[in-house]
């Protein structure tokens, strides 16, 4: 068990939608580039005595014919622009070549089989295979999500097996939406049972006996399912072979509509644990001891919501918990369920490195730390005594450390900026790692290198940054650079391989990934330094990274592109409005761009514990200072910008991107293009098929390279 993580057009006569082009719009056109004209309305809101105009409020209604027509027109302009870039097709072709290599995930031992994901190269979705543990056995397809939809947009999510190995429950999501369906398969025959569960969201699947726990919302209306605020999360228990309307309601909270709940079960099925959260930060834990006949409901284990505890495993009636209570870099404690408020036993003390995750397997604990944003992994016994460090191949990201108590081995993965995922087999008794899978590549990793540099941010804080590029690069100030960051929600951004980024390095570019405050890389204090009224630190760190790259002659302002996704899209929107002179190209992807209204849509309310909301006067005062939508200024020359989003994004609804793009097109007074790319049958990013990933990457790189003055190199 792990710490929980922290988302058809209707056409009408377009002439009815258009108004006269503004002067700012006319001035911002590139030759041959004419933007759709976007109707303005007299909509205003009063925030604690301050009146704020929202002239494009109508774009929040993604179901209206007017919005759908606007989307169609914007996509037509964007695709026409991209089609005229002479090397766009060459980029796509090269990406397909680089992408087309077999990829295999770390196997998971369940019953008499090893289960693993594999993608032959360009399959839209990776296929779940199984292979008998009998020597020489041939792998067979277990679940192929590519057969679930003609266009490859149905993705396979969580797969969980019953303790006896008889059943597998799994989740699927369509068109990138956060909404999921649950299905059950008979493992022996691979027969799909008639059980079908709907309207799951932010749910796990956790088996106990002949059924499992899951989380869902009430059924929404067809028109509101992608935008309506998600409220009243509930936990149910489903018994195999019954219909969903017979499922038992395990937990609901009518007094707290904005709490989310997830039930998990310990490996021995003794404890059912209820994790309650009021947002993306902070939770509390309740437990139900199924071996205690006197306990008839959940009891409080850890009161929330000031810290982030999570149960790892149990040892009899005691629970191992990873927590940052009194330990910003996290520690592990043992809590007696017979006396939850009593003294706790310290198992793994806090270190200067951040403890990111603790897995279990073979009766051991496996602790994964971050040291300057790269992984270090250690094996300990249940008393917390160190047995060994698991040596990794280099600076990178490793995952998969754990299994069942009876396991004698497990498999883990490792990857870096220039190395795709390698799979290793790990012997728990000896600590020996052996290579299990190594991909055959269409490029030579030895031609590339990564180094970590440090610089001081505006307030003097030391900030790390990884730089990856082709060997032999010259520091003459003329290298094209893509600078990427995230900086939020206690999420670490660690070294990882990307075919797309490799392509840019192959073309002579430098990929720079900066470790911003707001993430988890240096513990909770690092996180808090980028939250609430301190969010400006994140933007200052990113701006400082750009200035460092220019000062050290890696690049110059005309060769610098910036990119970020989701909270990183907010980052790009903020820095391009604060320092439009510093960047040549900006790509805000599925970004949170309207900081005054984000809490009114789907799960947006959960981010209030990270950002604050405009509902509170003191928080409104700092949100309005950096909200990207509200800091665009008429008559300003902005970087070449391509906003990207998906029409089924119900995590960060596309209204953020729609309103930002419309305002940017109206306000931009310079020569750079300001476009929006709206992907269809696509959501926030999870489960996006390979074909769409390649198309999106080709369009982004074509836009970046063209506006940086680059040329495609064969």
Which ranges of 223-276 does DSSP label H, i.e. alpha helix? Answer: none
CB 591 within 8 A of CB 628: yes
**Catalytic-residue membership of 684:** yes
**Catalytic-residue membership of 233:** no
| Tokens 């970046």, located at residue | 704
Please tell me the distance from the alpha carbon of residue 467 to that of residue 144, in angstroms, as a whole number: 37
User: Pairing between strand 113-119 and 462-470?
Assistant: unpaired
Q: Which helix (H) or strand (E) holds 45?
A: strand 44-47
Q: Structure tokens of 218?
A: 């009430």
Cα–Cα nearest to 128, from 114, 250, 253: 114
Residue 283 CA from chain centroid, whole number? 20
User: Pairing between strand 640-646 and 585-589?
Assistant: parallel
Residue 438: count other Cβ atoms within 10 Å of its Cβ: 13
> Looking at 162, 630, 684, 697, which residue is catalytic?
684
Q: Radius of gyration of the chain from Cα atoms?
A: 25
Q: What is the sign, positive or negative, of the torsion defined by CA atoms of 513, 514, 517, 521?
A: positive
Please tell me the distance from the alpha carbon of residue 628 to that of residue 660, in angstroms, as a whole number: 8
Output DSSP code: residue 574: H
Q: Across-strand partners of 127?
A: 118
Please tell me the distance from the alpha carbon of residue 512 to that of residue 481, in angstroms, as a whole number: 7
Phi/psi at 621 (5° precision): -65, -30
Q: DSSP 3-state assignment of 99?
A: helix
Cα–Cα nearest to 423, from 102, 134, 130: 102
User: Pairing between strand 510-514 and 481-484?
Assistant: parallel
Please tell me the distance from the alpha carbon of residue 417 to that of residue 299, in angstroms, as a whole number: 45
Q: Structure tokens of 479?
A: 């290298």
Please tell me the distance from the alpha carbon of residue 195 to that of residue 128, in angstroms, as a whole number: 20
CB 710 within 8 A of CB 701: no
Q: Which helix (H) or strand (E) holds 609?
A: helix 608-611
Q: DSSP 3-state assignment of 73?
A: helix
Please tell me the distance from the alpha carbon of residue 568 to that of residue 489, in angstroms, as a whole number: 11
> Looking at 566, 614, 657, 697, which residue is catalytic?
566
Phi/psi at 575 (5° precision): -70, -30
Please tell me the distance from the alpha carbon of residue 257 to that of residue 252, in angstroms, as a whole number: 9
Q: Structure tokens of 494?
A: 């660690």
Please tell me the distance from the alpha carbon of residue 7 to that of residue 280, in angstroms, as a whole number: 13
CB 213 within 8 A of CB 169: no
Residue 454: count other Cβ atoms within 10 Å of its Cβ: 11
Q: Mind telling me the catalytic residues?
A: 566, 684
């Amino acid at each position: 068990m792990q710490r929980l993580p922290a988302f058809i057009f209707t056409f009408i006569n377009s002439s009815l939608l258009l108004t006269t082009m503004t002067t700012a719009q006319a001035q911002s056109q590139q030759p041959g580039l004419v933007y759709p004209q976007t109707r303005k309305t007299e909509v205003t809101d009063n925030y604690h005595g301050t009146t704020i105009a929202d002239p494009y409020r109508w774009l929040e209604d993604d179901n209206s014919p007017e919005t759908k027509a606007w989307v169609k027109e914007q996509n037509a302009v964007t695709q026409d622009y991209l089609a005229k870039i002479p090397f766009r097709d060459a980029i796509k072709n090269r990406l397909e070549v680089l992408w087309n290599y077999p990829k295999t995930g770390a196997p998971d031992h369940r019953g008499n089989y090893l289960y693993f994901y594999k993608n032959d190269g360009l399959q839209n979705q990776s296929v779940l295979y199984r292979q008998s543990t009998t020597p020489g056995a041939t792998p067979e397809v277990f679940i192929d999500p590519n057969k679930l939809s003609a266009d490859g947009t149905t993705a396979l999510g969580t797969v969980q097996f019953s303790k006896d190995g008889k059943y597998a429950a799994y989740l699927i999501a369509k068109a990138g939406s956060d909404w999921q369906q649950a299905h059950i398969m008979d493992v022996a025959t691979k027969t799909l049972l008639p059980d079908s569960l709907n309207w799951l969201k932010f749910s796990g699947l956790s088996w106990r006996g002949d059924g499992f726990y899951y989380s869902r919302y009430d059924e929404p209306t067809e028109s509101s399912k992608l935008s309506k605020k998600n409220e009243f999360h509930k936990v149910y228990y489903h018994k195999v072979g019954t219909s969903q309307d017979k499922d038992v309601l395990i937990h609901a909270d009518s007094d707290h509509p904005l709490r989310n709940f997830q039930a998990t079960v310990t490996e021995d099925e003794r404890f059912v644990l209820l994790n309650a959260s009021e947002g993306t930060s902070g939770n509390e834990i309740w437990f139900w001891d199924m071996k205690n006949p006197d306990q008839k409901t959940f009891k409080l284990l850890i009161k929330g919501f000031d810290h982030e505890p999570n149960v790892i495993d149990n040892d009899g009636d005691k629970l191992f918990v990873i927590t940052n209570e009194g330990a910003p870099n996290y520690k592990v404690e043992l809590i007696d369920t017979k006396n939850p408020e009593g003294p706790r036993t310290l198992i793994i003390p806090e270190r200067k490195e951040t403890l990111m995750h603790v897995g279990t397997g073979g009766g051991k604990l496996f602790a994964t730390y971050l040291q300057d944003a790269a992984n270090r992994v250690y094996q300990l016994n249940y008393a917390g005594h160190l047995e060994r460090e698991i040596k990794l191949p280099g600076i990178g990201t490793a995952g998969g450390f754990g299994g069942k108590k009876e396991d004698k081995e497990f498999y883990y993965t490792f990857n870096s900026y220039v190395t795709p995922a390698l799979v290793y087999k790990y012997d728990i008794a000896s600590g020996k790692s052996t290579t299990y899978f190594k991909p055959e590549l269409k490029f030579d990793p030895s031609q590339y290198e990564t180094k970590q540099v440090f610089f001081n941010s505006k307030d003097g804080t030391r900030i790390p940054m990884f730089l990856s590029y082709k060997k032999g690069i010259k520091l003459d100030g003329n290298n094209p650079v893509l600078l990427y960051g995230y900086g939020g929600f206690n999420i670490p951004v660690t070294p990882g391989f990307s075919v797309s980024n490799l392509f840019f390095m192959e073309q002579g570019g430098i990929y720079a990934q900066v470790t911003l405050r707001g993430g988890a890389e240096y513990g909770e204090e690092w996180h808090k330094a980028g939250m609430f009224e301190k969010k400006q630190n994140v933007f200052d760190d990113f701006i400082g990274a750009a200035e460092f790259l220019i000062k050290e002659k890696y690049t110059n302002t005309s060769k610098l592109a910036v990119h970020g996704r989701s909270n990183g899209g907010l980052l790009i929107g903020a820095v391009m409005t604060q320092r439009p002179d510093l960047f040549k190209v900006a790509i805000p992807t599925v970004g949170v761009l309207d900081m005054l209204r984000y809490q009114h849509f789907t799960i947006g309310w959960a981010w209030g514990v990270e950002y604050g909301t405009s509902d509170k006067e003191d928080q409104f005062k700092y949100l309005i200072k950096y909200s990207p939508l509200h800091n665009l200024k008429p008559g300003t020359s902005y970087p070449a910008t391509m906003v990207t989003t998906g029409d089924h994004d119900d995590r960060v609804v596309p209204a953020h991107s729609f309103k930002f793009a419309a305002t940017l097109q109206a306000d931009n007074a310079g020569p750079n293009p300001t476009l929006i790319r709206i992907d269809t049958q696509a959501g926030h990013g999870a489960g996006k098929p390979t074909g769409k990933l390649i198309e999106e990457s080709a369009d982004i790189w074509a836009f970046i390279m063209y506006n940086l003055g680059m040329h495609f190199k064969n």
